[in-house]
Amino acid sequence: MIKKMMLLIFTILFGLAALQADPIDIDSDYGWKMLTIPASPSISAMAGTGAAISGEAGSFIEHPAAGLIGNLRSVSINQNLWIFDTQMNSIAINTSSGINSYGFALRALDYGKIEARDITGEVIGEFHPLDLNLIANYARRFGANYYAGANLMLLYQKLQSNSSTGLALDLGLSYLPPIRGLTLNAAIRHIGMTSKVNEERINLPTAPEIGFSYLLPLDFAEINAEYKMLKLPDDSNIRVQLGTNININDIFNIRGGYYLNHDTQSLTAGIGLHIRKIDFNYAYLPFSDNIGDAHSFGLTYKF
């Protein structure tokens, strides 16, 4: 019965992704872009993939079942030096028993100080926009092959003289088929709504995702590769994300990724170092169109 129920959920998620795959006509604005930025440097280095093997406490932000799949008991602090002199900082904790997993995270996107101007263009002061996101995660294992998880998110956005709040939900499912090393993943993220700003509601970037990962163990290393497709509501294209991680002797990680059908991103890269119970992670994220480069740093303690 449980297997049939999980297969039904998995089919529904795939169906949602298929329905979103066609180009859509955008009649309203989509905001809350912070939700589409990976907070984890290891996941960022793999072009938004690799949540289940990242080892970082906040991996459930990218896939709600990731903390349970990785059986994580860890605390992570990350800093993302993003584009246009913005910064996103996050802190997360995850604890897993192998059957159940609980996680909490807080992330903030700081835009810095921006000049405020009147209708004539005259500078009249400064304002400091800020996005905050508080996340609670729960994941559960069903049998030997099914992992399901959910994120509940509280959102807050401060603009020049206005603010907005919101509530969002992520749902994710992973299935281990009878092929060793293979994992099938599906999720739908950012389902919810926000309060109105100037009598207009800014819609969330609801995104269905499907993909798979494959883990290849070698004598001295493990190679993990992941393929993911997703559809954002303000983009007529299906976005593809490819990532790989080479773990050498459980000490050193070499990571790389590629964004396909993304406007300003393509290649990504990063490294990770594991010393006893501590992980150090770094990601390098180049952007095109003279936007500049982004850098992400992380520190994780495994208890």
Whether pLDDT at 53 is above 70: yes
Q: What is the band of 294 on the pLDDT scale with cuts at 50, 70, 90?
A: very high
Spatial distance between the Cα atoms of 97 and 119, rounded to a whole number of angstroms = 57
CA 258 to chain centroid, in Å, comes to 15
Positive or negative torsion for Cα 36, 212, 282, 288: negative
Convert the pLDDT of each residue in 223-282 to its tens digit: 999 999 998 887 778 999 999 999 999 999 999 999 998 888 899 999 999 999 999 999
Spatial distance between the Cα atoms of 94 and 73, rounded to a whole number of angstroms = 5
Residues constituting the chain: 303
- What does the pLDDT average to over 70-82? 95
HSE value, Cβ hemisphere, 13 Å, CA-based, for 21: 11
Predicted confidence at residue 26, as pLDDT, reads: 33
Pairing mode, if any, of strands 252-260 and 123-127?
unpaired
For residue 98, the cross-strand partners are none
- What does the pLDDT average to over 26-49? 80
2-302 maps to which CATH number? 2.40.160.40
Predicted confidence at residue 30, as pLDDT, reads: 55
Predicted confidence at residue 46, as pLDDT, reads: 97
224-261 CB burial, b ≥16 within 10 A, e <16 = bbbebbbbbbebeebbbbbbbbbbeeeeebbbbbbbee
Q: Using an 8 Å Cβ cutoff, are 261 and 274 in contact?
A: no
Convert the pLDDT of each residue in 122-179 to its tens digit: 766 666 788 999 999 999 999 999 999 999 999 998 876 678 899 999 999 999 999 9
Spatial distance between the Cα atoms of 26 and 41, rounded to a whole number of angstroms = 32
Whether pLDDT at 45 is above 70: yes
HSE value, Cβ hemisphere, 13 Å, CA-based, for 28: 10
pTM over 0.75: yes
Q: What is the band of 9 on the pLDDT scale with cuts at 50, 70, 90?
A: low
More confident of the two residues 173 and 21: 173
For residue 299, the cross-strand partners are 77, 280
Longest dimension (CA), the chain: 67
How would you class 176 by CB atoms within 10 Å of its CB: exposed for 0-12, middle for 13-18, buried for 19 or more?
middle
Pairing mode, if any, of strands 207-217 and 200-201?
unpaired
Predicted confidence at residue 200, as pLDDT, reads: 76
**Range of 33-42, 232-241, 270-279, 288-297 with top mean pLDDT:** 270-279
Whether pLDDT at 43 is above 50: yes
Predicted confidence at residue 32, as pLDDT, reads: 78
Amino acid at 240: V
Predicted confidence at residue 17, as pLDDT, reads: 46
- Neighbour count for residue 83 (Cβ, 10 Å): 14
| Residue with the two structure tokens 């400091």 | 128
More confident of the two residues 93 and 160: 93
Spatial distance between the Cα atoms of 213 and 222, rounded to a whole number of angstroms = 13
- What does the pLDDT average to over 71-88? 93
User: Which residues have C-beta within 8 Å of that of residue 56, sequence separation ≥ 6?
Assistant: 40, 41, 42, 43, 72, 74, 76, 78, 92, 279, 281, 298, 300
Convert the pLDDT of each residue in 172-231 to its tens digit: 999 999 999 999 999 999 999 888 877 777 788 899 999 999 999 998 899 999 999 998
The dihedral region occupied by 277, where left means phi > 0, alpha psi between -120 and 50, and beta the remainder, is alpha
- What does the pLDDT average to over 286-299? 92
Spatial distance between the Cα atoms of 56 and 112, rounded to a whole number of angstroms = 27
Q: What is the band of 5 on the pLDDT scale with cuts at 50, 70, 90?
A: low
| Domain definitions of the chain by residue range | 2-302
Q: In which element (H, E) is residue 215 found?
A: strand 207-217
Whether pLDDT at 12 is above 90: no
- What does the pLDDT average to over 91-116? 90
